[in-house]
């Protein structure tokens, strides 16, 4: 099979028939063998009934229905698990992503040998309250991840080599960082393609301003887990040791200063009367706690079932 199109959705009953017809026209025009996987993320409207009707009329359409709303990451992860196509396309269900982009995305993966292609909505039909935070979010992600050639990490329109979606896990709100997750999994051939962004035709956006706050928190989390998930002591142990040494050295200097001035009868305050001494003690306590956190993290990591799970590209 050439293509799998994974579409997560929440309350999009109006747009689904038009979207699936559009995708079908593109597939037939390019002689692609394909499947459309519609993942209903706990919709409260008639989206699932529409999916059932579409599936009856077109055997290339498959559906997954969640009992409740779990989020876009969960929907993508479940969709990825059942894909069969050599190239996997993801897009939103609100008709703001154009299926006409599919042949170009497919070519970049299948013919050009890329692992992942992310869409870039260079011209957006969104309010400034959404575009400004998005630019800030993308700038921070580029700096943290080192993927400097992407302008829009959170674009729903993406293309993947099949091996990518079968070797990454998307959870929480990590759908924003799939290029970062793919990079840390060893898939480094990542490029972008300028894609057409359309105005929303039906319904209203499902995302609020809180997604940007959650986005930065998730970025911190994924950066840490990617670098230190299998060796937490390298992070906590390092900073714990530095903090403890700093507090210990400062305390020692204060004690030596007290002994020296007392020996030569130079007026001085007691060590315990100096605020710096208590700051040094706090640094030592924090250092001890960080070191113990690293030690416990190391024990948990070593007992993890995937502690020796690595991405292998080829075997002879």
Mean pLDDT of 270-298: 91
**Shared domain check, 64 and 168:** yes
Structural domain contains residue 308: no
Residue 204, pLDDT above cutoff 80: no
Q: What is the pLDDT of residue 97?
A: 92
**Shared domain check, 40 and 91:** yes
Rounded-to-integer distance, Cα 289 and Cα 286, Å: 5
**What pTM value is reported for the model?**
0.74
Structural domain contains residue 315: no
**Shared domain check, 289 and 179:** no
**Shared domain check, 184 and 67:** yes
| CA 119 vs CA 172, 196, 243: distances in Å | 22, 9, 44
Structural domain contains residue 311: no
Residue 84, pLDDT above cutoff 70: yes
Residue 315, pLDDT above cutoff 60: no
Count of the separate structural domains present in the chain = 2
Output the domain CATH number for residue 192: 3.90.550.10
Q: What is the pLDDT of residue 308?
A: 52
Q: How confident is the model at residue 164 (pLDDT cuts 50, 70, 90)?
A: very high
**Shared domain check, 190 and 123:** yes
Among the candidates 179, 210, 227, a domain finishes at 227
Q: What is the pLDDT of residue 267?
A: 87
What digits encode the pLDDT tens for the residues 33-77? 999 999 999 999 999 999 999 999 999 999 999 999 999 999 999
Structural domain contains residue 309: no
- Its domain, for residue 102, covers 3-227
Most confident of 73-82, 125-134, 176-185: 73-82
Q: What is the mean pLDDT of the chain?
A: 87
């Amino acid at each position: 099979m050439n293509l799998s199109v994974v579409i997560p959705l929440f309350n999009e009953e109006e747009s689904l028939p038009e979207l699936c017809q559009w995708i079908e026209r593109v597939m037939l025009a390019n002689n692609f063998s394909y499947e459309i996987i519609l993942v209903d993320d706990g919709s409260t409207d008639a989206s699932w009934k529409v999916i059932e009707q579409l599936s009856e009329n077109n055997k290339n359409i498959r559906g997954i229905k969640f009992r409740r709303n779990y989020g876009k990451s969960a929907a993508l992860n479940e969709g990825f698990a059942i894909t069969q196509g050599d190239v996997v396309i993801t897009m939103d269900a609100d008709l703001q992503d154009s299926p006409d982009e599919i042949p170009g995305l497919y070519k970049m993966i299948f013919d050009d040998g890329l692992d992942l292609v992310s869409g870039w909505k260079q011209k957006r039909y969104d309010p400034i309250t959404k575009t400004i935070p998005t630019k800030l979010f993308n700038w921070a992600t580029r700096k943290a991840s080192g993927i400097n050639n992407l302008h829009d990490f959170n674009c729903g329109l993406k293309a993947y080599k099949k091996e990518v979606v079968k070797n990454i896990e998307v959870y929480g709100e990590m759908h924003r960082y799939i290029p970062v997750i793919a990079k840390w999994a060893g898939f480094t051939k990542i490029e972008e393609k300028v894609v057409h962004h359309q105005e929303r035709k039906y319904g209203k956006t499902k995302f609020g301003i809180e997604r940007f706050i959650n986005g930065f928190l998730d970025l911190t989390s994924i950066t840490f887990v990617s670098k230190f998930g299998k060796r937490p002591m390298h992070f906590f142990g390092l900073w714990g040791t530095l903090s403890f040494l700093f507090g210990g050295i400062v305390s020692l200097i204060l004690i030596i200063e007290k002994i020296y001035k007392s020996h030569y009868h130079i007026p001085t305050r007691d060590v315990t009367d100096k605020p710096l001494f208590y700051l040094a003690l706090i640094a030592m306590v924090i250092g001890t706690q960080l070191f113990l956190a690293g030690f416990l993290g190391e024990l948990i990591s070593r007992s993890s079932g995937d502690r020796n799970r690595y991405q292998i590209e080829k075997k002879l």
